[in-house]
A and B are shown apart, each in its own frame.
Chain A
Amino acid sequence: MDLFLELFTDYTLRTVALGTAVLGIVSGALGTYAVLRRQSLLGDAMSHAALPGVVLAFIITGSREPLVLLIGAGIAGIIGTLFMLLITRYTRIREDSALGIILSVFFGFGLILLQVVERLGLPNRAGLNVFLFGQAATLLFRDVVLMAIISLLVISIVILFWKEFKLLSFDSDFGASIGFNMVWLDILLISLLVVAIVIGLQAVGVVLMSAMIVAPAAAARQWTDSLSIMMILSAIFGAISGISGAIISSTGAGLSTGPVVVLVISTIVLFSVLFATKRGVVWSWYSRLRRQRMLILESVLNNMLKLAEQHDDPTHPHALVVLEAMNHGQGGVKNTLSELIKRGWVVQIDPTHFSLTAAGIEEAETFLLQNN
């Protein structure tokens, strides 16, 4: 409760929470496309590839201005992506290997540069290390303003190109056939993804940023079948995990923000996959169970109707043994009958005899009609 109060009173905490909310929103939104286009691991590679860009930008300019570092990161991310396209397009090396190579080599190189910065004793060097695991507490108010402006731009472009990006992600060949320049749109969307990643680097770090791209979207997908709702949900999940990550890591204990954010969003994914309505594991398991149960009910009902036909009286009572014999191997006929009685479809005449009610006859007949 104190924490919650602090969110409104503590200036630093408010700034930090605002910043992580913004990055959660933009990475959640862009991640929707990355997940749908199966480019989740591209996000991973690009965020790692951004590291040498950040450090080089610092070495070259000597400035720790976020905008400078972000531009460096963006350029490195795009170079990494182009490099990957070059490898996969002109050689037999496939995407997974190309991603692995770019990710590890760029990152290794970035770490060397980081060490060079340490050794050179450049002024202002402190704090570049936060780009590894992220430290939201280092965000300044003007950093957040910058992040918000860029994010607003990114999201406006996504809204502006809504129809075109949907076409690109669902059926790019068809899109090209009706005259949209799909190559150009592809480049635009990947560039926006790079921007989204770069925005989150300072707070979440290069190592775990990819999870901020993938996880919110994967969780959102479970709750909806609509692209727009998925994107909004994904942005909300991203914001929630960003804010709670920032708050938890700000309570001290020396936690980096990245791992905390990732744990929060991973919990959301796990919950969504298990309990989402319609798609979730538990839901499908329950509805499969219910369907099976219903089938058994209908099958006993149907048997009673068939038996009754031989007597010209649909409500003719039937012996339990006969019904059990007819449903051999399905077991639980007694249970099924008591369920049917509860539903008012069957009445018990005496301890061993049962007959259909009018409602039961109607139910059995409609079921037959629907399934023939």
Chain B
Amino acid sequence: MQALEVTDLTVAYQEKPVLWDIDLDVPEGILMAIVGPNGAGKTTLIKSILGLITPAAGNVLIYGKSYAAQRHLVGYVPQRGSVDWDFPTSVLDVVLMGRYGALGWFKRPSAADRQLAYDALEKVGMVDYASRQISQLSGGQQQRTFLARALVQDAKLYFMDEPFQGVDATTERAIIEILQNLREQGKTVIAVHHDLQTVQEYFDWVTLLNVRRIASGPVAEAFTPEKLRQAYGGRIAFLKEEKAAGD
């Protein structure tokens, strides 16, 4: 069964199309990058799959059922910049939010939930920072915190919006290792990515997006200079095309 099936998804802001008729089939157990120029609708695609934006048309299936029915199978890492990191809360508290979905309305996290949160922090190498206030974290540590929160969701399909944005090289390595780990457990990760240089190294599938779907499939098939030119127009640097072609 496909982890994710998107059919004919169209999203418009005030009748201005942001995504036109997107079709996507994502098999289980892969790491997929969503790539495209600024304003291509990458974040919008993720948000409309997650039901945060109501699409004008189209359908989204997660393991064969609607998102509302399969919510518990999905984990989400929003863009790091989308929250106020000066919010008075601790790293552990943020990670615990990953358990809120399983808890449902009104129930408070238990000791078991706390243990799960510590385990997730251990995996991202942040266990020493559990009681740290979140404003004292570096960019990389913030991203690791968000990743830990997604890990405690214990999902099968993960959506991550720019998980490498503004992180140091060590964190980038650590994160990609965690993502590859997830893949080995048969989980699926879909990440918005904007560093074309590392797509081939990190991911095994790729979707090229620019308002419509330019290409989607295994990196070897979909990540071609011709498709990239289609997605980026004239805006892509020559060097990057060469690299993509050379591999």
Q: Which residues of A contact B (CB under 8 A)?
A: 36, 160-164, 166-167, 169-171, 173-180, 221, 224-227, 230
Which 4 A-B pairs have CB atoms at the shortest separation, nearest pair first? A178-B101, A225-B133, A177-B76, A177-B50
| 19 residue pairs from A and B, CB less than 8 Å apart | A169-B87, A170-B84, A173-B52, A174-B149, A175-B97, A175-B100, A176-B52, A178-B71, A178-B76, A179-B68, A179-B71, A179-B101, A180-B100, A225-B89, A225-B90, A225-B133, A226-B88, A226-B90, A227-B89
B78 touches A221 (CB 8 A): no
Whether A171 pairs with B97 at a CB distance below 8 angstroms is yes
Q: Which B35-52 residues have a C-beta within 8 angstroms of A?
A: 47, 50-52
Asked if A173 contacts B89 (CB within 8 A), the reply is: no
Q: B82 an interface residue at 8 Å Cβ cutoff? A: yes
Which residues of A have CB within 8 Å of B83? 170-171
Considering only CB atoms, which chain A residue lies closest to B74 in the complex?
A: A177
Q: Distance in Å from the Cβ of B116 to the closest Cβ of chain A? A: 15
B97 touches A170 (CB 8 A): yes
B58-93: CB near A (< 8 Å → 1, else 0) gives 000000000010010010101000111001111000
- Asked if A225 contacts B51 (CB within 8 A), the reply is no
A36 CB contacts on chain B under 8 angstroms = 84, 87-88
The interface size of chain B toward A, counting residues with CB under 8 Å, comes to: 30
| B82 near A173: Cβ-Cβ < 8 Å | yes
Could you tell me the distance between the alpha carbons of A160 and B105 in the complex, rounded to whole angstroms? Answer: 9
Q: CA A346 – CA B221 in complex, angstroms?
A: 69
A166 in complex: contacting residue of B68, B74, B89, B133, CB < 8 Å: B89
B244 close to A (CB within 8 Å): no
Q: How close is B215's CB to chain A, nearest CB, in angstroms? A: 27
Contacts of A174 in B (CB 8 A): 76, 78, 97, 149
Q: State whether A167 touches B89 (Cβ < 8 A).
A: no
Closest to B77 in A: A174
A171 touches which one: B78, B135, B153 (CB < 8 A)? B78
Cβ of A163: which chain B residues have Cβ within 8 Å of it?
100, 103, 106-109
Which of B88, B100, B106 is close to A224, meaning CB atoms less than 8 Å apart? B88
- B214 interface contact, C-beta 8 A: no
Q: How far is the CA of A249 from the CA of B82 in the complex (A)?
A: 45
Contacts A36-B87, A177-B50 known; A170 to B106 CB distance under 8 Å?
no
A177 in contact with B51 given A160-B106, A163-B100, A167-B97 (CB within 8 Å): yes
Q: Are B88 and A225 in contact (CB under 8 A)?
A: yes
Minimum distance in angstroms from A78 CB to a CB of chain B? 24
Chain B residues, CB < 8 A from A226 = 88-90
B52, B88, B100: the one contacting A230 at CB < 8 Å is B88
Chain B residues with Cβ below 8 Å from A171 are: 78, 82-83, 97
A209 to B109, CA, bound (A): 36
Residues of A with C-beta under 8 A to B56: none
Give the Cβ gap from B110 to chain A, nearest Cβ, in Å.
12
Tell me, rounded to whole Å, the shortest Cβ–Cβ distance linking A227 to chain B: 5
Complex Cα gap A175–B105 (Å): 11
Partner of B100, one of A167, A169, A221, A225: A167
Interface residues of B in 160-184 (CB under 8 A from A): none
A160 to B107, CA, bound (A): 9
Asked whether any CB of chain A lies closer than 8 Å to the CB of B94, the reply is: yes
- Cβ of B161 to closest chain A Cβ, rounded Å: 9
Task: Enumerate chain A residues within 8 angstroms of B133, measured Cβ to Cβ.
Answer: 225
- B89 nearest in chain A by CB position: A227
CB of A9 to closest CB in B, whole Å? 40
Task: Report how far A193 CA is from B184 CA in the complex, Å.
Answer: 48
State A173–B83 Cα separation when bound (angstroms). Answer: 9
Q: How far is the CA of A175 from the CA of B90 in the complex (A)?
A: 17
Across the interface, which residues of A come within 8 angstroms of B106, CB to CB? 160-161, 163-164
Supplied contacts A164-B105, A225-B133, 5 more A-B pairs, CB within 8 Å = A161-B106, A170-B84, A174-B149, A177-B52, A179-B71
